[in-house]
Structure 1
Amino acid sequence: MKLLPMNLLNDGGPLFMYTILITLIICIVLIIKVFIKNDKNEKGLKLIKSVSLFALVWGFLGMMLGLIGAFDAISISSGFSNQILAGGLKIALLSPAFGMLTFLVARIGIIGLILKEK
């Protein structure tokens, strides 16, 4: 049996998926740092928002570039099956899904930090 998470990271496009993984780690570290330091000037919150938004947009950029490449390959081929198309679409959706997960984790952390302030 394959190592599922590592397989998904490679299937979704290593450049995009590993970059999003790094941004997820950065967001988690920043959330912990802001939580411990009790950052009053909100510089940490702004940074978390920016990094999480970058992860979201980066994931969608990966999907767009993947779909453009897939449709180029389909347009030059004489025929293709539905299974190949469905598999390609699944792969194309991995990077935006991971970007959305990173965005949500960061937003949940931001909500927790805001609730801690009050």
Structure 2
Amino acid sequence: MLLDRIQEGGPFFMWPIVIVFIIIVALFVRQMITKADKAHTITLLSNISLFILSWGFLGSVIGLIQAFDAIEGLGEVSQGMMAGGLKIAFLTTVFGLVTFIFGRLFILILNLMK
């Protein structure tokens, strides 16, 4: 099911979000295990999570533009087709937001451990 959603949202935008999610989790786990420079890890998590949030919104905007181009070309569109297009366009935003929230949660945990 998750792989289907990734393909629906467009691999160009979705796979980087998945990869960055894995990187964010790996950075947090590394910090918890090695007790490396906490400030550096927090900065990395902050920058990466903000980037991926922006990346998700960019994917949604481009998806909406493509959907509206298709609608313009067809003339009339059913409600089901419109809803399906909007769902696909917002998948990158949802995945980007989830990744962002996890990054921010990890930052919060690391700050609380100071």
The aligned counterpart of 2:77 is 80
Q: Distance in 1 between matches of 2:58 and 2:110?
A: 29
Which residue in the other structure is 2:63 paired with? 66
Q: Deviations over 1:15-54 (max 9, x none)?
A: 1111000000010011111222323461111011111111
Gaps of 5+ in 2: none
Runs of 4+ residues over 3 Å off in structure 1: none
Structure 1: give runs of 5+ residues left out of the alignment.
none
2:34 is aligned, of 34, 37, 40, to 37
C-alpha distance in 1 between matches for 2:109 and 2:87:
33
Aligned residues: 114
Match of 1:107 among 90, 104, 107: 104
Task: Name the CA distance, whole Å, in 1 between partners of 2:113 and 2:23.
Answer: 20
**Cα displacement (A) at 1:91:** 0.6
TM-score by length of 1: 0.91
Q: Does 1:54 align with 2:51?
A: yes
- In the superposition, the TM-score normalised over structure 2's length comes to 0.94
Does structure 1 conserve the Cα–Cα contact (< 8 Å) formed by 2:28 and 2:106?
yes
Residues 14 and 95, structure 2, Cα contact 8 Å, conserved in 1:
yes
CA contact (8 A) 2:24 2:45 kept: yes
**What does the per-residue CA deviation read over 1:85-110, in whole Å, with 9 as the maximum and x for residues that have no partner?**
00000111110000000001111111
